[in-house]
Structure 1
Amino acid sequence: MNLDINPRVLRRLMHIIYEVSKETGTLTYLYGLKGSHPKHIENDILISADVIFEISLDMGADKMVNKLAIPKMRGMLPTLEVIKFKICDGVRIDTSKDMA
């Protein structure tokens, strides 16, 4: 995404990746850092994605909290729910609810 190429070439590459994934029945993940690329390129990728996972890390003085949000799932209404998780001897999902 940082290459200085014509945006049409990038869109074509994304289309090829989509078609190959569809033909082979596989999943394809595109990992990107939000805000690290030109906005119009990020928007093109986010618009064409079927699902968007947003992972954030909140660091406090005494703890770190990993959060997962899924703001887009094609064909479904987006959810505002945030899932807390820890990575240790696997991934542990926090099923408790925060009371504020």
Structure 2
Amino acid sequence: MERLPTGIPVLDRELDGGLPAGCVVALTADPASQSELFLNTFAGVRETLYLTTVRSADAVESGLSGSSVETGDPVVEAVHGEGPIEDARGFLPSVPDDGTVIVDSVGPLEDASTPRYRSLLSDLGDRVRETDATAVLHALEAGGGRSRNRVVTEQVADVVFDLRTVVTGTAIENRLAVPKFRGGAALEEPVKLKLTDTVSVDTSRDIA
């Protein structure tokens, strides 16, 4: 199966070259983490459709242009209004061949009824398989608990990236686990990452 590089060398090495073409990825993370660095990096690897559900398209474009990572020239579209499920579905024909579609974040879509949300994810999965693309669902962990359909997101996703950020004193530790990898091997151990202006391996030693 063709593998599509993520743009993050340590991940590509661990995942035997990257993500399978046609897969749906859920990136779960705390809102205070720098998970947007992952999205910016993913956007720079291939032609990208970036759907924003919370920020304005202008805000996303400004963030991408100001990023220190190579973000390419993604098409940014806002998914807002009273019918975000229908809005998002309307953009599916624009998913580029061999490209990437980013949904940032998936939370407002998860607020829909389970049948409608599951139908959207099914259509998204069909579309990325048709185009050999990759879909990345930015699934932030809300402070008030899991969203009503987060379990659906994780069930449908072919791959789950779980970014955990722990602050201990003055130290910030970021670890990326890959607990689910349909069609491949999940990582046995989390990868310790350094998130500054880019995503890189944290080579500092663990302190017991």
| Alignment TM class, shorter chain as reference | 0.7 to 0.9
Partner of 2:162: 54
The unaligned stretches of length 5 or more in structure 1 are none
Q: Secondary structure at the match of 2:139?
A: coil
Matching of residue 84 in structure 1 with residue 84 in structure 2: no
Q: Report the alpha carbon displacement of residue 97 of structure 1 after superposing the two structures with TM.
A: 6.4
One of 175, 178, 181 as aligned partner of 1:70? 178
Matching of residue 36 in structure 1 with residue 151 in structure 2: no
User: What's the TM-score, normalizing by structure 2?
Assistant: 0.42
User: What's the TM-score, normalizing by structure 1?
Assistant: 0.80
The unaligned stretches of length 5 or more in structure 2 are 1-106
Aligned residue identity for 1:27? T
Partner of 2:201: 93
Partner of 1:11: 118
* Distance (whole Å) between structure 1 residues aligned to residue 112 and residue 194 of structure 2: 38
Q: Secondary structure at the match of 1:37?
A: coil
Aligned length: 98
Identical residues among aligned pairs (%): 31
**Deviation string for 1:30-58 (max 9, x for gaps)?**
111234302xx111211111000000111
Over 3 Å counting, the alpha-carbon distance change for 1:99 and 1:60 in structure 2 is closer
RMSD (Å), alpha carbons: 2.2
